[in-house]
Amino acid sequence: MNSLSDNRHESAHSDAKQATPRCVASWRSLRPVIVPVVALVLILCAWQAAHRLFHLNSIVFPAPTEIAAAFVKNFASIMAETGVTLLESILGFLLGGITAYLFAVAFVHSRLVQEALYPYAVALKSTPLIAIAPLLVLWFGNGLLSKIVMSSLVAFFPVLVNSITGLAAVDGEALDLMKSYSATRWQILTKIRFPNSLGYLFPALKIASSMAVVGAVIGEFTGSTRGIGHLINTSSYYLDTPLVFAAIASISLGGILFFGLVAWLEKKIVFWQKA
Amino acid sequence: MVEVRNLGKTYPEGKVVALTDISFSVAKGEFISIIGPSGCGKSTLIKIIGDIIESSAGSVTIDGLAARQARLNGKFSFVFQNPVLLPWRTVLENVTLPLEIIRDGARDPRELLNMFGLAGFEDRYPAQLSGGMKQRVALARALTFNPQVLFMDEPFGAVDELNRAVLNLDLARIWQQIGVTVFFVTHSISEAVFLSDRVFVLSARPARLKDIVPISFPRPREKALQETEPFQAIVKALREKLG
């Protein structure tokens, strides 16, 4: 139907008339990319100019070109440490997310469990997690594990809250329908509650993906020999500020990719949900 | 086949009496419509018969079985005002949902979709269907296994009038083919008269069974029946009974 009417639409117009809307359409779709890129370029130019004009100290505030140079010079180690941090973040994200989801399932199915444990989940949320980072390093060593645990703790709460909501927010008539088939709780969970919760789960996963990176870097600051947090720590110790900036830029880009991956999965998996 | 004796429902919170002392019996394959003032408990009544909610008094038996046992045996099927389709399943997957639970398929899901005029839509998702089509999918889903009693709670309440007329004709035709016992809750008196063997009239809350009106027009009933004088006379009489 659509392609038919499109063809008719095209044949009814002259070539010149067609060309204009096509340009407009491509500008519209690219606009959200082009505008921020142009803004970034302008900001970097202004930054570079300010650096030269006011003779800013590169240890305090390096120029973009110096940062770029540091990035190129240390490319291999920046990539390796970013990889370590992202690995910790992803594993922590999975550990925290899965644990939170299982807790949510238990909460939704047992009022007793929810009454007993939910207050502590809220308490966990209110605890500044940076405060327990030294304990985690003490317990789990200064390798990957302490960062994964740290990262999972930060990712845990948003996933828990949204999963509880999503598992419980099932249409009453859908439950009546399942009851009329004499469905078991397990069947209701797998056929109704679980798919229904996905629409609530993914927004939380997007938040958790960013939080997980923060958690991993905090863990690395506290005690580690690897990761972007460690690289930032050591390079700031040696007053290599351009490298600090380059490391920050790299992990922030990694975080954006991680977020983008989760957002892409959301579109693929929760395809029925309107944006 | 369906025996209802002195059925009552009182909600403990606030002691609201919804239904009181309702008794009737329904033969196998009968089409029963239930009409009554808004909020009088029509939905509550069919949900109690279908054992989705519990009664406070009285008994329901289906072929001698208690309602609960009949439900566990897969004898009941429901269609609600909302189609309640699962948006992550295709039309065909929605229709086969009950078979995954009851595991007692009686009809070919594709054939059912055919009967409801949904051939070619098997792989669509609910979001791609119109309201009337969604309700057709819900109807097909309700009949894939072999329910003995089909409960319909204002199934066409949200469908526009033109579609509603077509759906009524389709429902009447398929009901005759299948021979299932139907309880049909509706606000539309003419819909009730057109479809039913008997119309149950409930009073305002606390609802009692005020009247049972037999409808004896021969079947299959044509759309034109609704324009005839005897039809209009029954509709008018029922409207007066509802007050």
Q: Please write the tens of the pLDDT for every residue from B171-218.
A: 999 999 888 999 999 999 999 999 999 999 999 888 889 999 999 999
What does the pLDDT read at residue A27? 81
Would the CB atoms of A174 and B86 count as touching at under 8 Å? yes
Decide if A191 and B82 are in contact by the 8 Å CB cutoff. Answer: no
Q: Decide if pLDDT at A101 tops 50.
A: yes
Tell me whether residue B150 is exposed, middle or buried, using C-beta atoms within 10 angstroms of its C-beta: 0 to 12, 13 to 18, 19 or more.
buried
pLDDT for B201 equals 93
Residues 6+ apart with CB under 8 A from A176: B47, B52, B78, B80
Is the per-residue pLDDT at A142 higher than 90?
no
Residue A129 pLDDT class (50, 70, 90 cuts): confident
Report the C-alpha gap between B200 and B207 in whole angstroms: 12
Instruction: Tell me the average pLDDT across B98-106.
Output: 83
Whole-prediction pTM: 0.83
Instruction: Compare all CA atoms of chain B with the CA of A271 and give the residue at the minimum distance.
Output: B88
Q: Note whether A180 contacts B86, CB cutoff 8 Å.
A: no
At residue A6 the predicted structure's pLDDT band, cuts being 50, 70 and 90, is very low
Report pLDDT for A20: 56
- Average pLDDT (B77-87) is 94
Query: Per the CB < 8 Å rule, is A182 touching B101?
Result: yes
Q: What was the pLDDT predicted at A273?
A: 85
- Interchain proximity B101–A195, CB inside 8 Å: no
Q: Which residues of B touch A175 (CB under 8 A)?
A: none
The answer for residues whose C-beta is within 8 angstroms of residue B189's C-beta and 6 or more apart is B35, B235, B238, B239, B242
Mean pLDDT throughout B150-163? Answer: 90
Please report the domains of chain B, with CATH numbers, ordered by start residue: 1-75+148-157+174-243 (3.40.50.300)
Distance from CA of A43 to the nearest CA of B (A): 44
**pLDDT at B86 (0 to 100):** 95
If one looks up domain A64-269 in CATH, what number appears? 1.10.3720.10
Q: State the complex-level ipTM.
A: 0.91
Considering only CA atoms, which of A197, A137, A171 is closest in space to residue B80? Answer: A171
Close Cβ partners of B239 (under 8 Å, ≥ 6 residues apart): B189
Measured in angstroms, the CA of B19 and the nearest CA of chain A are apart by 20
pLDDT band at residue A21, thresholds of 50, 70 and 90? low
The confidence score (pLDDT) of residue A2 equals: 42
Contact A176 B71 (CB under 8 A): no
| Residue A10: per-residue pLDDT | 39
Task: Please name the residue of chain A whose CA is at the shortest distance from the CA of residue B104.
Answer: A181
CA distance B175 to B168: 10
Virtual torsion, Cα B168, B170, B175, B181, nearest 10 deg: -30
Cis previous bond, B220, omega within 30: yes
Question: So where are chain A's domains?
Answer: 2-53, 64-269
A191/B88 Cβ within 8 A: no
Query: Tell me, what's the pLDDT at A13?
Result: 42
Query: Considering only CA atoms, which of A96, A88, A87, A92 is closest in space to residue A159?
Result: A96
Q: Which of B84, B85, B94 minimizes the C-alpha distance to B122?
A: B94
| Partner residues linked to B179 by β-bridges | none
The pLDDT value recorded for residue A264 is: 94
Distance CA B158, CA B88 (A): 22
Average pLDDT over chain B reads: 91
SS3 of B42, please?
A: helix
Q: In sequence order, what DSSP letters do the residues of A39-94 get, joined into one string?
A: HHHHHHHHHHHHHHHTT--TTTS--HHHHHHHHHHTHHHHHHHHHHHHHHHHHHHH
A204-243 pLDDT, tens digit per residue, is 999 999 999 999 999 999 988 899 999 999 999 999 999 9
Question: Inter-axis angle of helices A15-53 and A64-73, to 10 degrees?
Answer: 90
The single residue listed with the structure tokens 């098997």 is B122
Residues of A within an 8 Å Cβ radius of B: 171, 173-174, 176-183, 187, 191-192, 195, 198, 271-274
Residue A113 C-alpha, separation from nearest chain B C-alpha, in angstroms: 26
Interchain contact, A195 vs B86, CB within 8 Å: yes
Name the percent of chain B lying above pLDDT 90: 63
Higher pLDDT, A129 or B80: B80
Is the pLDDT confidence value at A9 over 80? no
Are the beta carbons of A272 and B52 separated by less than 8 Å? Answer: no
- Beta pairing, strands B2-11 & B57-62: antiparallel
How many CB pairs below 8 Å do chains A and B form together?
52
pLDDT at A4 over 60: no
What pairing do the DSSP bridges indicate for beta strands B76-79 and B65-66? unpaired
Put simply, whether B212 touches A (Cβ < 8 Å) is no
Side-chain-side CA neighbours of A141 within 13 Å: the count stands at 5
Evaluate if residue B107 carries a pLDDT over 90.
Answer: no
Radius of gyration of the CA atoms of chain B, in A: 18
Query: What pLDDT digit, counting tens, does each position of B37-69 carry?
Result: 888 889 999 999 999 999 989 999 999 999 999
Average pLDDT for chain A: 88
Which residues of A are less than 8 Å from B146 in CB distance?
none
Minimal Cβ distance to A174: which of B74, B84, B126: B84
Residue entry with tokens 């060309």: A19
Instruction: Tell me: cis bond preceding B206? Omega within 30 of 0 counts.
Output: yes
Q: Which residues of A touch B78 (CB under 8 A)?
A: 176-177, 180
B131: pLDDT confidence band, cut at 50, 70 and 90?
Answer: confident
Chain A touched by B88 (CB under 8 Å): yes
pLDDT value for A22: 63
SS3 A202: helix
What does the block give as tokens for B86?
């699962």
Rounded Cα–Cα distance for residues A269 and B6 (Å): 50
B12 vs B43 pLDDT, higher one: B43
> Token pair of B87, please?
């948006």
pLDDT at A16 > cutoff 70: no
Residue of chain B whose alpha carbon sits nearest to that of A182: B72
pLDDT bucket at B79, cuts 50 / 70 / 90: very high
